[in-house]
Amino acid sequence: MPIPCLATSTALLTLVLAGGTLPPRLRLLRAFPDAAAALRAGPSAWRAAGCTPAQRARLALPDEHYLARGLAWLAEDQHHLLGLTDPDYPALLAQIDEPPLALFVDGEPARLWHPAVAVVGSRSPTPGGREHAHAFATALALDGWSVVSGLATGVDAQAHDAALQVTGGMTVAVVATGLEQTYPRQHAALHARIAGNGAVVSEYPPGMPAIQAHFPARNRIIAGLSLGTLVIEAAERSGALITARCAAEAGREVFALPGSIRNARARGCHRLIRQGAALVEEPAEVTTGLTALAQTLAGALRSRLDAPTEQARPALKSAPSYTDPDYQCLWKALDDDPTGMDSLIQRSGLTAAQLSAMLLVMELDGKVMAAYGRYCRKP
């Protein structure tokens, strides 16, 4: 992934550090070619975008301490900042109502494009809930899905750990603090493992402590990165239910495991099922339930990537009919035997972000199979 220039990173950090309500800064970023141009536009453009006086003051004079802290963090290996208009910004997340202005990423940004299922639930699950979280996350990872969760204790930690135990398994953690710290602290080792095999992301800049209001807000990112959200256990008042609501509002699928009527941690799941969430008992029911949505979102993603539409393609089974040269190059790089991402990069000359996006489209179109983080042509 190309390293953004210092001016671009500084401008984007300045927009993030302006704080306040998100929509005015989203409008400002979308109105100009990049964050630097948005800042150069000056107070009149900021006012027109709806920025408050406090936001305009911080855009004109950002907090030097937090700015320096953010730039120092970005200077380290595998640390990235993706603005909403950046081509590497995950396409599914960009589709939600209020996507993050920018994402701080510890790990590989291309992982955020991989087909994913959010697995969320109670911070204090029952022993059975812990087993379910581990079993479902393991099965999803074995099937080639990325597991997205929030790095919290309980179900989240079980889901992340289970995905990492699968050879080639992939997981993404979305947190509500700056990425130079870990919350809760006892998950520092888990944070490092996830960053090494997937990605840990936040919309909050380095130096941001754990603030209660940020945790419900980050749940929309968990839902937005995923094709569907699976709730393992959740009380009637639970952050997992916020994630499920965000998923439903984004047009994604919601799944819930039923439980005993005597289990208070199952009541949130039962409420979701009454409201229309899919009742699931086996991991295969989750992946089957995502088929229709995956096809719909693949069409939207294909349009974003300027690939031909389904109507424009002849019905060929031997090879994909994408006319884009990059797709043809990727098809030639693929084999009947599973091939890892590093080999595909070497064979095709394409970047990891490009390959992840195209592989997602081709996988959802039924042209490519993914397993254990490796890809091959579908028979």
Query: Which of the pair, 365 or 217, is modelled with greater confidence?
Result: 217
Are residue 264 and residue 152 in the same domain, yes or no? yes
Are residue 170 and residue 284 in the same domain, yes or no? yes
**pLDDT tens digits, one per residue of 145-188:** 999 999 999 999 999 999 999 998 999 999 999 999 999 999 99
- Is 27 inside any structural domain? yes
- Is 252 inside any structural domain? yes
- Is 196 inside any structural domain? no
Are residue 142 and residue 263 in the same domain, yes or no? yes
- Is 329 inside any structural domain? yes
Place of tokens 């997340």: 93
- The mean pLDDT of the chain is 88
- Is 201 inside any structural domain? no
The predicted pLDDT at position 335 comes to: 85
- Is 192 inside any structural domain? no
Are residue 149 and residue 14 in the same domain, yes or no? no
Q: Are 76 and 70 in contact (CB under 8 A)?
A: no
Q: What is the pTM of this model?
A: 0.80
**Among residues of the chain, what percentage have pLDDT more than 70?**
88
Query: Which of the pair, 336 or 221, is modelled with greater confidence?
Result: 221
Are residue 170 and residue 37 in the same domain, yes or no? no
Task: Take residue 328 and report the two structure tokens written for it.
Answer: 């043809």
User: E strands of 212-280, at which residues?
Assistant: 228-231, 253-256, 278-279
Are residue 22 and residue 74 in the same domain, yes or no? yes
- Counting the structural domains of the chain, the total is 3
The predicted pLDDT at position 237 comes to: 86
Are residue 231 and residue 142 in the same domain, yes or no? yes
DSSP class of residue 219 equals H
What is the span of the domain harbouring residue 24?
6-109
Cα–Cα distance for residue pair 67/276, rounded to 1 Å? 45
Are residue 237 and residue 360 in the same domain, yes or no? no
Are residue 58 and residue 140 in the same domain, yes or no? no
pLDDT tier, 359 (very low <50, low <70, confident <90, very high otherwise)? confident
- For residue 308, pLDDT over 50 is answered with no
The predicted pLDDT at position 46 comes to: 96
**pLDDT tens digits, one per residue of 233-284:** 999 888 999 999 999 999 999 999 999 999 999 999 999 999 999 999 999 9
Number of C-beta neighbours around residue 124 at 10 A: 13
Are residue 166 and residue 255 in the same domain, yes or no? yes
CATH number at residue 338: 1.10.10.10
- Is 195 inside any structural domain? no
Residue type, 43: P
Of the residues 54, 88, 109, which one is the last residue of a structural domain? 109
Task: Take residue 31 and report the two structure tokens written for it.
Answer: 């109105």
- Is 198 inside any structural domain? no
Of the residues 109, 137, 168, which one is the last residue of a structural domain? 109
Are residue 77 and residue 157 in the same domain, yes or no? no
Are residue 78 and residue 143 in the same domain, yes or no? no
